[in-house]
């Protein structure tokens, strides 16, 4: 029986509180310490979540002998330095998306972990969704033939308490870094390949893009359309995959919860697909991470997958700036 992983949290964030702490506890791992730049917040956070130790120093956290892995959910501009430091300290890393603010920094993070021989994964949650996993199986089994197009509606309503940097930070905020980046990871998990070229349009008038639509040229001549926003409080999310022999439609599937329905369309006939166990997405992610550490398995979403997602975001930003389509840096 493998020993439980001992985790430390770099960043006392909402997603750690609501998603990762419960998931880590659920799989039987432990949380040793938490770091935040604010002493008061770190202390209060540790008390609320029954974490024995807290600190404001990343170095102090990484020097602990009772830490095997870190979950990095600090603000986006801090990820690079913190992940590189974690690798140097020999700690395995689960990093929040976007991995960094530039592809160059994200590559450096993954390469640092590879040199150190530690596992690095990206916390893109959608590939762990039970609806996405059954859609991937349908595609792989040839249920709809060759994929030709994918439509993604990832327009959501952003709660007031989660706005902050997402709507105010002109460098790391906005739906491209926060939401579109998940679309790219989801499409890759469903059909493989990667984004090649992006044309993006936004609704203007805000500090950062809060409503964004894209057309993406994907590997194997697949076209992907996306809509990401913070101002949809009415319609559910959905994802459609159109193939040469059929199509798949899943509604309510672009969330962090194990919800949503899947339907298969062929020859004007509709079949409701049994999704299977509704396992928590973040528990699935942490379990896969544990297997990667203990058994050498591949994480559900690798560090390089996170780099690919960020490369598409960079192309979105370039397209918004130029008004033209932009090539995506390819990641081997």
Would you give the DSSP letter of residue 127? G
User: Using one digit for the tens of pLDDT, what is the confidence trace for 101-138?
Assistant: 999 999 999 999 999 999 999 999 999 999 999 999 99
Q: Are residues 218 and 294 in the same domain?
A: no
pLDDT per position as a tens digit, 67-107: 999 999 999 999 999 999 999 999 999 999 999 999 999 99
CB 275 within 8 A of CB 286: no
Claim to verify: residue 146 and residue 187 sit in the same structural domain: yes
Tokens 């928590």 found at = 280
pLDDT at residue 77, as a whole number: 94
Total number of domains constituting the chain: 2
**Residue 2: predicted pLDDT:** 80
Residue with tokens 């973040």: 282
307 lies in some domain: no
CATH number, domain of 316, equals 3.30.360.10
- Token pair, residue 167, equals 């709507």
Q: Measure the CA–CA gap between 163 and 53, rounded to whole angstroms.
A: 28
User: Looking at the structure, do residues 262 and 158 belong to the same domain, yes or no?
Assistant: yes
| Percent of the chain predicted with pLDDT > 90 | 90
Query: Kind of pairing, strands 69-72 and 6-10?
Result: parallel
Q: Report the alpha-carbon distance of residue 256 to residue 274 in Å, rounded.
A: 19
- Domain range for 149 is 126-279+312-327
Query: What is d(CA 103, CA 332) in angstroms, rounded to the nearest whole number?
Result: 13
Q: Is residue 240 part of a domain?
A: yes
Residues 142 and 290 in one domain: no
* Residue-wise pLDDT tens digits, 258-294: 999 999 999 999 999 999 999 999 999 999 999 999 9
**E-state strands within the chain:** 6-10, 30-35, 53-55, 69-72, 92-95, 120-122, 147-155, 195-202, 211-218, 222-229, 238-243, 247-251, 261-266, 269-273, 326-327
Query: For residue 332, what pLDDT is reported?
Result: 79
Bridge partner residues of 50 (DSSP): none
User: Collapsing DSSP states into helix, strand and coil, what is residue 154?
Assistant: strand
Write out the E strands in 1-91: 6-10, 30-35, 53-55, 69-72
Cis peptide before 163 (omega within 30 of 0): no
pLDDT class of 208 with cuts at 50, 70, 90 = confident
What CATH number corresponds to the domain at position 111? 3.40.50.720
What pLDDT was estimated at residue 202? 93
């Amino acid at each position: 029986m493998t020993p439980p992983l001992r985790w430390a949290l770099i960043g006392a964030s909402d997603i750690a509180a609501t998603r990762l702490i419960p998931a880590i506890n659920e799989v039987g791992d432990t949380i040793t310490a938490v770091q935040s730049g604010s002493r008061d917040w770190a202390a209060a956070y540790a008390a609320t979540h029954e974490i024995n130790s807290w600190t404001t120093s990343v170095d102090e956290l990484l020097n602990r002998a009772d830490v095997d892995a870190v979950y990095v959910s600090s603000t986006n501009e801090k990820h690079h330095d913190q992940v590189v430091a974690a690798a140097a300290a020999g700690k395995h890393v689960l990093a929040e998306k976007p991995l960094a603010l530039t592809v160059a920094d994200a590559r450096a993070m993954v390469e640092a972990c590879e040199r150190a021989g530690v596992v690095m994964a990206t916390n893109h949650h959608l590939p762990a969704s039970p609806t996405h996993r059954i859609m991937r199986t349908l595609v792989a089994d040839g249920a709809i033939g060759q994929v030709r197009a994918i439509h993604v509606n990832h327009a959501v309503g952003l709660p007031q308490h989660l706005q902050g940097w997402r709507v105010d930070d002109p460098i790391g905020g906005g739906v491209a870094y926060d939401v579109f980046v998940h679309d790219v990871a989801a499409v890759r998990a469903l059909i493989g390949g990667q984004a090649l070229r992006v044309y993006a349009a936004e609704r203007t008038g805000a500090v950062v893009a809060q409503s964004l639509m894209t057309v993406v040229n994907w590997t194997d001549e697949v076209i992907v359309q996306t809509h990401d926003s913070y101002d949809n409080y009415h319609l559910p999310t959905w994802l459609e995959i159109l193939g040469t022999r059929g199509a798949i439609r899943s509604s309510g599937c672009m969330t962090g919860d194990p919800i949503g329905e899947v339907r298969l369309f062929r020859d004007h006939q509709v079949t409701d697909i049994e999704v299977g166990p509704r396992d928590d997405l973040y528990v699935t992610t942490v379990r896969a991470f544990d297997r990667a550490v203990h058994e050498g398995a591949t994480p559900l979403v690798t560090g390089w997958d996170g780099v690919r997602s960020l490369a598409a975001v960079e192309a979105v930003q370039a397209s918004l700036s130029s008004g033209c389509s932009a090539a995506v840096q390819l990641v081997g």
